[in-house]
Amino acid sequence: MQEPNVKSPCIEKCVLSELSVCVGCGRTGDEIAGWMSASEECRRAIVAAAAQRVAEAGQSSVTTSLSEKPRRQA
């Protein structure tokens, strides 16, 4: 039985902080850029690291409203 694909943690709040970390999902710019070519193992590591960043920032992507329009920096 094949393992299920790791889903992107993107919550469509795509804005990079001054540290190049997405304020929505917690991934770095490099992690976002490499997501499509990343192995399942690498994706699991990215998701874990992103969740840790979100927790450390005191944010909760689970409770964030998905109905808000994504904002992008100019």
* Domain chopping of the chain, boundaries: 16-59
Q: Name the pTM for this structure.
A: 0.70
* pLDDT number for residue 58: 82
Reported as a single tens digit per residue, the pLDDT across 15-38 is: 999 999 999 999 999 999 999 999
Give 16's strand partners: 22
